[in-house]
Structure 1
Amino acid sequence: MQSENRMFDDLVKLVNGAAGTLAGVGREAEQGARSRAREWIGGLDFVSRDEFEAVKAMAAAARDEVEALTARLAALEAAKPAEKAKP
């Protein structure tokens, strides 16, 4: 009986050791994959969300300014023929 328990204990220790090793290998592989993904993504021309939002706000402001200037130009052009008719 005693020898059977020892053999069972040794088997359990072996399985536990193997499971721990496999878990460590899995964590290491995951870290390596994450590192490679960061390097790959870092090489691409991505912008951060803050930068995107800032440029989006600038574009909206520029669009509003263009619309205002277009309306002003149209008003000036509409007033121009009236000035020519005066003399």
Structure 2
Amino acid sequence: MLAADAVWFNSQFHLESWFTAVPTFLKHFPEYNELGSVETLRRKSRVLPVGVDFARLEDREIDANLSISQSPSLPSSSYLVEPTLGV
């Protein structure tokens, strides 16, 4: 991570969780003089949220009675490829 130009997390929660835990982890090593690098890593850390386009979902009406098998957004079984067992 120290050699990286940037360190990416998929949420602010994961970023904060990691930076909360890493000092405790580093202190388990006999020579934990790398604690100073935690701040260096924090400065080059960024959050890149999971790519969900919520704007596309806002216009959809949700039908609570629609089952997963009826969902128009899921592929039908004819599109699924069954794995072969080398037969």
* Structures share fold, TM-score greater than 0.5: no
- TM class by smaller structure: under 0.3
Greater per-residue strand proportion: 2
The structure number with the bigger radius of gyration is 1
TM-score (norm 2): 0.24
When normalised by structure 1's length, the TM-score is 0.24
Higher RCO structure (Cα 8 Å, ≥6 apart):
2
